[in-house]
Amino acid sequence: MIFSANFNYICIKLTTINYIMDTYNELRNEEFRFLSKNNIISENPVIEIVDYEEGMAINRTAKDIMLFFVLEGAISVNCGFAENRFIEAENFFLIPPMAPYSFHFPKKTKLYCCHLTEKILLCRKGKSEFLSEMYEKLKLLNQDNDLYTIKSNQYIIKVLENSVANMNLGLRWMNYQKTIIQELQILISAYYCDEELARLFHPVFKGDIVFKSIVLQNKNKLLTVEEFAAAVHLNRNSFRNRFADMFGINPSEWILGNRTEQVINELKKDKSILSIVNDCGFSSYSSFVRFCRNFLHNTPAALRSQYRSQSN
């Protein structure tokens, strides 16, 4: 009786083991996909992994907080408060929401982008207000750096590599992507000091950086106070007040000075006057001539001769 009972127990265990192995082999099958209502593959992923060829460029506006990891290659970043910032592989940085940015890829590059659509996880490092206060102290020490880049450590690199491999195999469920983003944030807040975190997340804590980014990104595109106000979703008076507080100058004077500088730089180049008229946004050649006479006190031809003689 004892032998019979043990034999039946062994048979049951073997059957269970075979069932588990069959299930495991089924899970390994690339055609197998388990989807539930809470684990659907999103049409708008929170993680994007994109390969860019040498010479490519993108121009976008961040809808969310964007955390970028450069996996391979390098990029040149422009985002208003940082111009032509060169960032190589194994570094990461953050772009705040509503900020316009452009990337140029001088070599073949793989970029890993996280959309931080939920509350930022700071782990044991304290509240965002603490990091913001710390940043202000660092600013007083002349250590300001709005676009701060951090070198990825081995733990972050491992998570990035594993998630890339899993998503390439088809594991793109929304909950999985959110879990990876949470893990990355926890690792960042656990392995980097408060000063580094303050610099990294400062653009999110201080909304003025977004305002400044939009203004500077459009300095050669928009020509009036009304156009700038619309770009930052403010009325004219609110824009003028906020601009004056940040830049210490009336926006009309800043726009005029910026346009004057642009015209001077263009006249120094080997370009036709008509091209300069178009590139600087003048409605006609006559309006360009009037601008030069009123604010540079000479005709475009005379100014060009003057600048060329100064350079010789």
Show the tokens assigned to 181. Answer: 């983003």
Neighbours of 134 (CB within 10 A): 18
123 — alpha (psi -120 to 50), left (phi > 0) or beta?
left
Please state, in angstroms and rounded to a whole number, the distance separating the CA atoms of residues 169 and 150: 29
Looking at the fold, whether 280 and 195 belong to one and the same domain comes out as no
Looking at the fold, whether 57 and 196 belong to one and the same domain comes out as yes
The domain boundary residue, chosen from 205, 240, 266: 205
Please state, in angstroms and rounded to a whole number, the distance separating the CA atoms of residues 288 and 107: 39
Q: What is residue 48's predicted lDDT score, i.e. its pLDDT?
A: 94
Give the predicted TM-score (pTM) of the model.
0.61
Closest residue by Cα to residue 165 from 112, 210, 107: 112
Closest residue by Cα to residue 79 from 244, 256, 203: 203
Query: Three-state SS for 72?
Result: strand
Looking at the fold, whether 303 and 260 belong to one and the same domain comes out as yes
Q: CATH number for the domain including 197?
A: 2.60.120.10
- The β-bridge relationship of strands 74-78 and 100-104 is antiparallel
Q: What is residue 159's predicted lDDT score, i.e. its pLDDT?
A: 96
Please state, in angstroms and rounded to a whole number, the distance separating the CA atoms of residues 106 and 195: 31
Please state, in angstroms and rounded to a whole number, the distance separating the CA atoms of residues 22 and 17: 9
Please state, in angstroms and rounded to a whole number, the distance separating the CA atoms of residues 55 and 277: 28
Looking at the fold, whether 269 and 241 belong to one and the same domain comes out as yes
Looking at the fold, whether 163 and 247 belong to one and the same domain comes out as no
Please state, in angstroms and rounded to a whole number, the distance separating the CA atoms of residues 155 and 183: 10
Looking at the fold, whether 103 and 234 belong to one and the same domain comes out as no
Closest residue by Cα to residue 30 from 170, 211, 140: 170
Looking at the fold, whether 190 and 258 belong to one and the same domain comes out as no
Give the count of domains, the chain. Answer: 2
Q: What is residue 80's predicted lDDT score, i.e. its pLDDT?
A: 66
Please state, in angstroms and rounded to a whole number, the distance separating the CA atoms of residues 149 and 137: 19
Looking at the fold, whether 86 and 172 belong to one and the same domain comes out as yes
Q: Is residue 166 part of a domain?
A: yes
Q: Is residue 35 part of a domain?
A: no
Q: What is residue 134's predicted lDDT score, i.e. its pLDDT?
A: 65
Q: What is residue 72's predicted lDDT score, i.e. its pLDDT?
A: 96
Please state, in angstroms and rounded to a whole number, the distance separating the CA atoms of residues 159 and 172: 15
Q: How far is it between the farthest Cα atoms of the chain?
A: 114
Please state, in angstroms and rounded to a whole number, the distance separating the CA atoms of residues 19 and 295: 85
Q: Is residue 257 part of a domain?
A: yes
Q: What is residue 146's predicted lDDT score, i.e. its pLDDT?
A: 65
Q: Over its length of 312 residues, how does the chain's per-residue pLDDT go in tens digits?
A: 444 444 444 444 444 445 444 544 444 443 333 333 444 444 568 999 999 999 999 988 888 889 999 999 999 998 866 778 999 999 999 988 877 889 999 999 999 999 998 877 766 555 566 666 666 666 644 444 568 899 999 999 999 999 999 999 988 889 999 999 999 998 998 899 888 888 888 777 766 767 777 788 788 788 889 988 887 777 888 888 888 887 888 889 998 888 888 888 888 888 888 888 888 888 888 888 889 888 888 888 888 888 777 766
Looking at the fold, whether 258 and 170 belong to one and the same domain comes out as no
Looking at the fold, whether 131 and 72 belong to one and the same domain comes out as yes
Q: CATH number for the domain including 283?
A: 1.10.10.60
Q: What is the dihedral of CA 30, 36, 37, 42, to 10 degrees?
A: -20
Domain of 247? 218-311
Q: What is residue 44's predicted lDDT score, i.e. its pLDDT?
A: 67
